[in-house]
Amino acid sequence: MRVIQMVDTKTQYQKIKQEVDSAVIEVMESSAFINGKAVKDFTVNLNKYIGSNYTIPCANGTDAIQIALMALGLKPGDEVITPSFTYIATTEVIALLNLTPVFVEVDPATFCIDPAAIEKAISPKTKAIVPVHLYGHAAAMEAIMAIAEKHNLYVIEDNAQAIGCEYTFSDGTKKKTGTIGHIGTTSFYPSKNLGGFGDGGAIFTSDEKLATRLLMIANHGQSKQYYHDVVGCNSRLDSIQAAVLDIKLKHLDEYNARRRKAADYYDNAFANHPNIKTPFRAVNSFHVFHQYTLQLTGVDRNGLKDFLASNNIPSMIYYPVPGHKQKMFEQFNTASLNMPVTDMLTEKVISLPIHSELDEEQLQFITSKVLEFVNK
Ligand X SMILES: *Cc1c(COP(=O)(O)O)cnc(C)c1O
Binding site for ligand X (CB under 6 A): 60-62, 86-87, 89-90, 132, 158, 160-161, 187, 189, 199, 201
Minimum CB distance to ligand X, residue 163 (Å): 11
Nearer Cβ to ligand X, position 93 or 363? 93
**Phi, psi at residue 36, to the nearest 5°?**
-80, -175
Nearer Cβ to ligand X, position 61 or 307? 61
Minimum CB distance to ligand X, residue 48 (Å): 22
Nearer Cβ to ligand X, position 91 or 239? 91
Nearer Cβ to ligand X, position 132 or 243? 132
Minimum CB distance to ligand X, residue 245 (Å): 12
Nearer Cβ to ligand X, position 115 or 178? 178
CA dihedral 239, 71, 322, 285 (to 10 degrees): -70
Minimum CB distance to ligand X, residue 195 (Å): 10
**Closest residue (Cβ) to ligand X?**
61
Tell me the C-alpha distance between 308 and 175, whole Å.
38
Minimum CB distance to ligand X, residue 62 (Å): 3
Tell me the C-alpha distance between 309 and 154, whole Å.
43
Nearer Cβ to ligand X, position 315 or 362? 315
Minimum CB distance to ligand X, residue 203 (Å): 12
Strand bridging mode 154-158 / 183-187: parallel
